[in-house]
Structures are given as structure tokens and as C-alpha cells.
């Protein structure tokens, strides 16, 4: 089968490799689309982040496809099903899995990170992480189930009320999902602090009341909820500063593992702030699919670039001559 294989640092090539065999508890899926995210860029460029991969490996943890074979013990998925994969595979027996917090699993593995992923003609995955997609949902939209599910988990960590004032720090794809999702829950006042003036109209279309350029404009403070989706020291500090008394701060952006940022300890104490981290997507895939089914046109409109295998390395290497909002790979077209 054809696959796009990461063979080393900034070394990615289309190869003919053996199609995967199907263990008894797994299914084999013919890939249709695979999304590309910041984690893939980190892995390609060898940058520090929340995931590590050992080449040779096929990336692609955001994906959709159709089942072509099932293992002998599989009972809930059948050949022909249109599906997406939750890439995160939990051990089920460590302390955190037993406590119902599998995202903290001590033995976490992931499709497209520690085992071959969706940038290939076929991929296998355990039945437990394979989800049928609604009939009305396109393969293209379904490939974004994983990033949407991460935003769903983040929103679930917040104690949201329609009357609250919410600030989203960031204007990239995930920040766009947070804006649309929080607005869909009936929250009236959602502001965005970003750096790209070209995305101002887009953020307004997604429901933002005010959009600030944090490089040239003063962003207000006193927010009930602040969602940080960048992961940089300056924006993390700004998130804490922007929160009002009794406020909630969600740290969603992926930071460098060695990164620190300065904050005023007295502010946390005096304002009684709640600061939470948000890591991957436990118990969120079904809600993510429901959100996509209800907002398919909106989410698909956020896809700016549809790539084939021969373009992916240039994209991950930052060689595109235009700003990319969200890229997705047409795997079906790539493997012809």
C-alpha cells in the first residue's frame, strides 16, 4: 500500500509498504481524509511538544475512512461502516484509567504518533476507538472529529453560564472551534484576542462579539472565563491577567515542555482564580460527532487547504507561501 512515511528529522517520503494485518480486536480502515495539526509539525520538525514519535512512522491522528476488514473478536463495527478514529489508546489498568481519567494514562499510545496513522491507504485500530460517523456527515468533516473532540473536552472542564463574559486568546483553527462551540451553548458575550487582522471577520462570523489584535490593541480584563489556545508564555500570562474575580482560566495551548511564564501569585489568591489544564479528549468523541453533524458547513468552511501526499512535507516544513487556516489531506486521491 502507499503511505507517507516520516523516516527521520524533516525526512518524509511516499513509500510502498506492507498493508497492516488485522488483530482479533481491531479493524482495518481504508483512509479517505487525514487532518494536519500542530502536533504533526512538531513531529516532522523534531520540536518539543506533547507527543514524541520514533521514525519510521506514518503520521495522521485526525482521520476518516471506511472499514474493509474486521478482526475475529470485533462485534460493534462491520465492513462498510464509515468511521473515524479516536487516536488515543489507553491501557485501562493504570491508576488514572481506573479512576476514570484515561487522558492521564501512564501507558498512553496513539494512532499516528506511536503507531502508524492515517497518512496511508489503510490503517488498523482497536475496535474500542473506532466510531461510526452519521450518514449526513462527510468524510472530510469527519476527519476533524479529533480536534473538535479536544475542544469539547476543554469546554466540559469549564463551568459556563450564558451570562458570562468569555475571552478566547488565539485566532487559529482550535480557537475558532472554541468560539463557535461556546456560542452554540448560548453564551452571549464571547471576545477573541488574536494577532491576525485578516481573521477578524471570520471570528465575527463564528460569533465573536469583539475581536482584538493583542499586538496593537488593549484587551480588556475582568472576564469570567478565559481560554488560552496559543501556548506561549506571553499569552499564558495574559490569560491570567485578563481573568476577573472568581474567574476561570483554561490552559489549552500546547506549550514547550520546558516553558515557564511569569504570573502574579497575589492575583490568583485575591481574585480566587481557578486555573485548569486541558489535555486531549476523554469521553468527547460522540459529542464531537454530534457537533460536527449540526455544524458541518461551518466547520468545513474553516478548511483552507486540501493537500495530497506530495505537498505535506512542504507544508509541515513551513514552505507554503500563504497563511493556512486548516489543512487536510485527501488520502483517497493521494494513493491512486
The predicted pLDDT at position 48 comes to: 80
Count Cβ atoms below 10 Å from residue 42 Cβ, excluding itself. Answer: 19
- Say yes or no: 121 and 257 in one domain: no
- Say yes or no: 109 and 235 in one domain: no
- Say yes or no: 142 and 51 in one domain: yes
- Say yes or no: 315 and 236 in one domain: no
- Say yes or no: 30 and 135 in one domain: yes
For the stretch 240-299, pLDDT in tens is 999 999 999 999 999 988 899 999 999 999 999 999 999 999 999 999 999 999 999 999
**What's the rounded mean pLDDT across residues 200-229?**
96
- Say yes or no: 190 and 259 in one domain: yes
Q: Which of 42, 61, 153, 165 is catalytic?
A: 42
Domain end: 277, 299, 326, which one?
Answer: 277
Question: Residue 301 to residues 27, 35, 83, 315: CA-CA distances in angstroms?
Answer: 31, 14, 21, 20
Cis peptide before 147 (omega within 30 of 0): no
Cβ atoms of 261 and 228 within 8 Å: the answer is no
**What's the rounded mean pLDDT across residues 307-336?**
94
In total, how many domains does the chain have?
2
For the stretch 42-93, pLDDT in tens is 999 998 877 889 999 999 999 999 999 999 999 999 999 999 999 999 999 9
**What's the rounded mean pLDDT across residues 185-214?**
96
- Say yes or no: 304 and 237 in one domain: no
- Say yes or no: 199 and 63 in one domain: no
Q: Cα angle at 94 between 89 and 95, to 5 degrees?
A: 125
Q: What is the pTM of this model?
A: 0.96
Looking at residue 103, the DSSP 8-state letter turns out to be G
Looking at residue 321, the DSSP 8-state letter turns out to be S
User: Does 84 participate in catalysis according to the annotation?
Assistant: no
The predicted pLDDT at position 51 comes to: 85
- Say yes or no: 143 and 11 in one domain: yes
The predicted pLDDT at position 261 comes to: 93
Cβ atoms of 202 and 176 within 8 Å: the answer is yes
In terms of residue numbers, what domain contains 291?
A: 2-149+281-334
- Say yes or no: 30 and 129 in one domain: yes
Residue with the three cell numbers 507517507: 4
CATH of the domain at 17: 3.90.180.10
Cβ atoms of 208 and 191 within 8 Å: the answer is yes
The predicted pLDDT at position 3 comes to: 98
CATH of the domain at 265: 3.40.50.720
The predicted pLDDT at position 49 comes to: 75
In which band, very low, low, confident or very high, does the pLDDT at 322 lie, cut at 50, 70 and 90?
Answer: confident
The predicted pLDDT at position 52 comes to: 87
The predicted pLDDT at position 256 comes to: 86
Domain end: 236, 254, 277, which one?
Answer: 277
- Say yes or no: 144 and 240 in one domain: no
165: left (phi over 0), alpha (psi -120 to 50) or beta: beta
Q: How many CA atoms lie within 13 A of 26 on its CB side?
A: 14
- Say yes or no: 141 and 285 in one domain: yes
In this model, does residue 223 exceed pLDDT 80?
Answer: yes
Helix (H, G, I), strand (E, B) or coil at 166: strand
User: Does 42 participate in catalysis according to the annotation?
Assistant: yes
Question: Residue 78 to residues 61, 74, 75, 199: CA-CA distances in angstroms?
Answer: 21, 8, 8, 42
Amino acid at each position: 500500500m502507499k503511505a507517507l512515511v516520516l523516516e527521520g528529522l524533516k525526512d518524509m517520503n511516499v513509500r510502498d509498504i506492507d498493508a497492516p494485518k488485522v488483530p482479533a480486536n481491531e479493524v482495518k480502515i481504508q483512509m479517505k481524509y487525514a487532518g494536519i495539526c500542530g502536533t504533526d509539525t512538531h513531529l516532522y520538525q523534531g520540536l518539543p511538544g506533547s507527543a514524541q514519535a520514533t521514525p519510521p512512522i506514518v503520521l495522521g491522528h485526525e482521520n476518516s475512512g471506511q472499514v474493509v476488514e474486521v478482526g475475529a473478536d470485533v462485534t460493534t463495527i462491520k465492513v462498510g461502516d464509515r468511521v473515524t478514529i479516536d487516536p488515543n489508546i489507553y491501557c485501562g489498568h493504570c491508576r488514572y484509567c481506573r479512576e476514570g481519567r484515561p487522558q492521564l494514562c501512564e501507558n498512553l499510545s496513539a494512532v499516528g504518533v506511536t503507531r502508524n496513522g492515517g497518512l496511508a491507504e489503510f490503517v488498523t485500530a482497536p475496535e474500542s476507538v473506532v466510531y461510526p460517523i452519521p450518514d449526513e456527515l462527510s468524510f472530510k468533516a469527519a476527519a476533524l472529529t479529533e480536534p473538535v473532540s479536544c475542544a469539547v473536552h476543554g469546554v466540559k472542564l469549564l463551568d459556563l453560564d450564558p451570562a458570562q463574559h468569555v475571552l478566547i486568546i488565539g485566532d487559529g483553527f482550535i480557537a475558532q472551534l472554541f468560539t463557535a462551540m461556546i456560542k452554540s451553548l448560548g453564551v452571549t458575550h464571547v471576545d477573541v484576542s488574536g494577532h491576525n487582522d485578516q481573521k477578524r471577520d471570520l471570528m465575527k462570523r463564528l460569533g465573536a462579539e469583539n475581536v482584538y489584535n493583542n499586538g496593537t490593541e488593549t484587551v480588556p480584563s475582568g472576564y469570567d472565563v478565559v481560554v488560552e489556545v496559543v501556548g506561549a508564555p506571553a499569552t499564558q500570562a495574559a490569560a491570567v491577567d485578563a481573568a476577573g474575580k472568581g474567574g476561570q482560566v483554561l490552559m489549552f495551548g500546547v506549550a514547550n515542555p520546558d516553558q515557564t511564564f511569569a504570573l502574579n501569585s497575589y492575583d490568583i489568591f485575591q481574585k480566587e482564580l481557578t486555573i485548569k489544564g486541558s489535555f486531549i479528549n476523554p469521553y468527547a468523541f460522540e459529542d464531537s460527532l454530534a457537533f460536527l453533524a449540526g455544524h458541518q458547513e461551518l466547520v468545513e468552511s474553516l478548511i483552507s487547504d486540501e493537500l495530497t501526499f506530495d505537498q505535506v512535507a512542504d507544508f509541515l516544513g513551513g514552505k507554503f507561501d500563504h497563511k493556512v487556516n486548516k489543512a487536510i489531506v485527501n488520502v483517497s486521491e493521494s494513493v491512486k
